[in-house]
Amino acid sequence: MEREDLDRNFGFLLHDVARLMRTLFDRRGRDLGLTRSQWWVLTMLYAKEGVTQSELADLMEIEKPTLGRLLDRLEEKEWVERRQDEFDRRVNRLYLTDKVQEIMRALRKTAAAVRLEALGDMHSDERERFIDTLVKIKTNLQNIDSARSG
In a domain, 18, yes or no: yes
Per-residue pLDDT of the chain (150 residues; tens, 9 = 90+): 777 787 888 899 999 999 999 999 889 888 888 888 999 999 999 999 999 999 999 999 999 999 999 999 999 999 999 999 999 988 999 999 999 999 999 999 999 999 999 999 999 999 999 999 999 999 999 898 677 766
CA-wise closest residue to 94 among 38, 36, 45:
45
Query: Residue 47: its pLDDT value, please?
Result: 94
Q: Which residues of 36-66 are buried (b: 16+ CB within 10 A; e: fewer)?
A: ebbbbbbbbbeeeeebebeebbeebeeeeee
CA distances from 64 to 54, 83, 92, 126 (A): 6, 17, 13, 39
Task: Indicate whether 73 and 20 sit together in one domain.
Answer: yes
Identify whether residues 115 and 127 lie together within a single domain.
no
**Within-domain flag for 1:** no
Distance (Å, whole) CA 108 – CA 113: 9
Same-domain pairing of 76 and 36: yes
Range of the domain at 147: 123-150
134 and 82 in a common domain: no
CA–CA separation, 147 vs 139, rounded Å?
12
Residues 148 and 106 in one domain: no
Q: Are residues 47 and 93 in the same domain?
A: yes
- Could you tell me where the DSSP H helices lie in the chain? 10-31, 36-47, 53-60, 64-76, 101-119, 124-149
Do 63 and 100 lie in a common domain?
Answer: yes
User: Are residue 113 and residue 81 in the same domain, yes or no?
Assistant: yes
Residue 150: its pLDDT value, please?
Answer: 61
Whether residue 27 is contained in a domain is answered as yes
